[in-house]
Amino acid sequence: MTAFPSERTAIVTGAVSERGIGRATADFLAERGWNIGVIDLDDAASKAVAKEIAGRHGVKAHGVGANVASEESVRAAIDELEAELPQIVALANVAGVSSPVPYLELEPAEWDRVLNINLNGVHYATRRVAETMVKHRIGRIVNISSVSAQRGGGTFSKTPYSVAKAGVIGLTRATARELGEYDITVNAISPGPIDTDIMGGTLSEERKDELVKDLVVNRVGSTRDIAAAIHFLISEDAGYISGQTLNVDGGLYMH
């Protein structure tokens, strides 16, 4: 088992939105001693969030703006984070967009937008951090898929979202297979209904009650539920888990 360096960094994409999974994850990891690299669209907001995390948790943090749909942008951002922070050991690919457009109303531009951000963006960030992780022969990558991928939608977002998130599972398995020899694990988390803005805004109590009817637990998920799962999968002790999709979904999809 390869030991982690004492000073290690986790990069979190999509970490600015206050009610999002990325922000919750960055805070959760920092609280547990991880240095944090923040990537989001807005450079100033990314730097502000990083400064706040560093101040609150006493870790090193650096933020940089990037469009995950652009490989050049992602590579430049991760280059900057690598220069500013301790060794990159983990990557949480959280950045994503929703897409509630019905299939018969779907325009090519919407298909491309959703696939570029939700699938290509995961590939671009993974491809760049893999170079660093291979060099150090240690790494943990966690990608956010969705129960939509496994159930063919049935959530707020529809077809291109489900397709992209299914692609994330395929990407997770294939990269786990290719990167395993370098002591790098790659896993996916498949959230069920989580109370974030990607569900179309804050969930009303009525909507929560409706969603809970499909679950085996008595509540919809929180961003902390996902952050805790990410924290487990990037931990030193999770080195024997790779290529897996962990459903954190209140029992919505059992397989």
Q: Please, what are the averages of pLDDT over each run of 10 residues along the chain (255 residues)?
A: 93 97 98 98 98 98 98 98 98 97 98 98 98 98 97 91 98 98 98 83 83 94 98 98 98 92
Element (H, E) at 131: helix 121-136
Report d(CA 7, CA 85) in Å as an integer.
9
Give the residue numbers annotated as catalytic, written as ranges.
161
pTM of the model: 0.97
CATH number for the domain spanning 54: value is 3.40.50.720
Residue 194 lies in a domain: yes
Instruction: State how many domains the chain has.
Output: 1
* Residue 22 structural domain: 9-248
Residue 236 lies in a domain: yes
Query: H-helix or E-strand containing 129?
Result: helix 121-136
Find, among 91, 100, 226, 255, the residue nearest to 172 by Cα.
Answer: 91
Q: Is residue 254 domain-resident?
A: no
